[in-house]
Structure 1
């Protein structure tokens, strides 16, 4: 098993729901209790916070998923049924809300997770309709997939999604990891046997976690996802893990109240 050793703890949250790290190395964290989003550096300095409970632009009601590019931050504002985008300094830019659209295909409700592909398209996990809805960066509808017409790749209770470097889309469903190509066609499905409840792909590094354990895997649509348990040394056993990701050979583990950082042992 790969081994990482404790380096530091950063952040102070009340009930963190998700996190992501931008290519520039800034960490963005959403919090259920405060309905806020935080921007930290890798040393844990709080650079900016934004949000607060509400339905106005820039406010949240249960922010559940965050995704960061170099320039933009996207947040799934679950109970407001919308996706909000911010600049890298957390100034509000725009929102995407389709729940009252005349076009059923583009509607999403209670979004849980989002990602941007290399082509620049935006993918939103629609938990109300158990599917993924894809838009261009201007908010124009492209397609949805994983719904009732997806055959054996139909999603039953999707939790989170991640975009791989080759623009394939990985969706964590309740029993499987389902992979779609960049046109939304299902191409593979691998059982995880309930072992994981979160996953991330950051710069090609696949990580997954449950309450107490983190895993890594190589990404292969042919061989599937082979979850390899990671040994985290030098700290108390972690409990209530929310999410985990790898960046610059370090493992960042999000707990409800903080981030624990481990560095790789050679």
Structure 2
């Protein structure tokens, strides 16, 4: 009996000893974890004292959506999400990096350069950013990207008169019946009007909206799409805003990155709703009529719709990623596709007589006769040469 008691006591004492040892180990682990967290989080808090977890999470969500559009080669739609991510969290390096890449791949190299310089201000020792800035400076100087618009204008207007009314990152233009030229400037969000004598004025002052893109004229009014704000505005020819409609979304009358706009002869307005892969039609009062088109790579489908033109009973849409022109009727019914070897990256499209004037980032300007199918290519240029508008060649 005594031995049993002693044995029991020994077991009890041993368990107490083991329990005490376990407690000591647990306390040590807790203190160790505390110090690890303390020394890990302290630098983060000191570097980003104003970090807001909710905003950072929102920025990450915008960034993820932007990456999806970027991987689908919808660079302007991607840029919109990357820009939102940067607004939520200015030090978001990946978002800033992708924002610059998106602008560059969309053709807005000056805007891309601006974004890279902003990134360099935050990360001044980043060698990769410095190299990209130098490379972009070199390419701009060599290819003459910033002088392409001046080159076109100098054939008709004096360059000295244009300097005051410069339009960086020109996105679209339209001509009224009095031969006044209207040009949208994406990066500074303004519209410049130039009369036949070369006298210019900022009919829409810089900073209006987020990023003005497409423009078209009907009678004494003109419509402008705002890519960044997902809005469409109707102005008088004097620059007075008459109405606006739209908003962000995918429902009827809402947009996600509106691009090209075009009136038909009755005043109906067709708008390329790029991020929603569709075309929307509105009446003269801005009321929604119908929408058509869907995302895809097959017939009647759109991967990156950019601009739009109306000729007769047909509506022509440039699909930059699919390298084609998709044709619909006024009711949204699919008619056909226009395919040609010269369509490498078609963007702008307009009408002259029975012909389509198509601007292609890689091929040049293509004149396509819708009746005969004849094609004429003006100014074929590559990434390292300037356009030569005195040359043209007939295409088979």
TM bucket normalised to smaller: 0.7 to 0.9
Which residue is 1:170 aligned to? 316
**Residue deviations 1:130-170 (CA, integer Å, cap 9, x gap):** 00011111122111011259973011211111111x14110
Of the three residues 277, 281, 301, the one matched with 1:154 is 301
Q: 1:179 aligns with which of 327, 339, 348?
A: 327
1:36 to 172, 177, 190: 190
**Runs of 4 or more above 6 Å deviation:** none
Unaligned runs of 5+ residues in structure 1 are 1-5, 54-58, 242-250, 252-261
* TM-score normalised by structure 1 residue count: 0.74
1:115 counterpart = 2:115? no
Give the whole-Å Cα distance in 2 for the aligned partners of 1:110 and 1:130.
Answer: 10
Aligned equivalents of 2:379, 2:275: Cα separation in 1: 36
Q: Return the structure number with greater relative CO, CA threshold 8 A, min gap 6.
A: 1
2:346 corresponds to 1:197: yes
Q: What's the counterpart of residue 218 of structure 1?
A: 369
Q: Would you say the 8 A contact 1:162–1:199 is kept in 2? A: no
Shift of 1:98: 4.3
Matched, 1:144 2:291: yes
Give how far 1:171 is off.
Answer: 0.2
CA contact (8 A) 2:230 2:246 kept: yes
Q: Is the 8 A contact 1:24 1:70 kept in 2?
A: no
Alpha-carbon distance in 1 for matches of 2:344, 2:168? 26
Contact preservation (8 Å) 2:329, 2:335: yes
* Greater C-alpha radius of gyration: 2
Residues 100 and 14 of structure 1, relative CA distance in 2, 3 Å threshold: closer
Count of matched residue pairs: 224
> Which of 85, 110, 128 lines up with 2:275 in the alignment?
128
Aligned partners of 1:119 and 1:134: how far apart in 2? 12
Higher helix share: 2
Q: Is the CA contact 1:28–1:68 (under 8 Å) kept in the aligned structure 2?
A: no
Kept in 2, the 8 Å contact 1:108–1:133? The answer is no
Greater strand proportion:
1
Q: 130-139 or 8-17, which moves further after superposition?
A: 8-17
The alignment yields a C-alpha RMSD, in angstroms, of 3.0
The 1:202/1:70 distance shift into structure 2, 3 A limit, reads farther
**209-218 or 27-36: which moved more?**
209-218
CA contact (8 A) 2:189 2:206 kept: yes
CA contact (8 A) 1:82 1:109 kept: no
Structure 2: tracts of 5 or more residues without a match: 1-153
